[in-house]
């Protein structure tokens, strides 16, 4: 982690490429509560102090204890760790971040994959049309010319 530049080195990522992620001020504050380690030391470790190979078991325990998926039978409707990537992408798109930046932040090699993650919220398209209307209404109004269409 480089707190001065607000970067964290991400190794063994989903697409196998090492890259940097960004540390927000809230994340920095939380990370500062951890005991400092050696420069090349793994930050997030399992109970034995080794590299976490899968977050799934721990995540499942947390979700179960919070009962977030209680009563949900359809696996597609259950809250999973992977949902966080979808939410991250969708929230970025919703605030107007362009898809190329979203692609880079997610570490996708192709924009096609990013499109699968960047879900629109139900009102996003309505807001886009309303914004266009507002922009058009703010334009200086000119004279309206009546047009007649003749058949024939």
Q: Which residues contact 8 (CB under 8 A, 6 or more apart)?
A: 1, 2, 20, 21, 22, 23
- How many whole angstroms separate alpha carbon 51 and alpha carbon 45? 5
**Tokens 């190329």 identify what position?**
100
pLDDT (mean) for 49-55: 78
Q: What is the pLDDT of residue 68?
A: 92
pLDDT (mean) for 59-78: 90
Q: What percent of the chain has pLDDT over 90?
A: 19
Q: What is the pLDDT of residue 69?
A: 93
- How many whole angstroms separate alpha carbon 5 and alpha carbon 20? 11
Note the pLDDT tens digit of each residue in 83-112: 888 888 888 988 889 999 999 999 888 888
Structure tokens at 91: 């929230």
């Amino acid at each position: 982690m480089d707190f001065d530049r607000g970067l964290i080195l991400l190794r063994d990522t989903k697409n196998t490429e090492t890259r940097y992620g960004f540390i927000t001020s809230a994340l920095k504050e939380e990370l500062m509560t951890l005991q400092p380690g050696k420069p090349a030391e793994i930050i997030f470790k399992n109970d034995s102090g080794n590299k976490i190979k899968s977050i799934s078991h721990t995540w499942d325990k947390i979700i179960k204890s919070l009962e977030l998926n209680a009563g949900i039978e359809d696996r597609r409707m259950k809250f999973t760790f992977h949902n966080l990537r979808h939410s991250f992408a969708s929230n970025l798109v919703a605030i107007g971040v362009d898809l190329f930046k979203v692609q880079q932040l997610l570490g996708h090699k192709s924009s096609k994959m990013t499109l699968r993650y960047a879900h629109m919220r139900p009102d996003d398209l309505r807001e886009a049309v309303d914004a266009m209307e507002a922009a058009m209404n703010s334009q200086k109004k000119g004279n309206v010319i009546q047009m007649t269409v003749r058949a024939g």
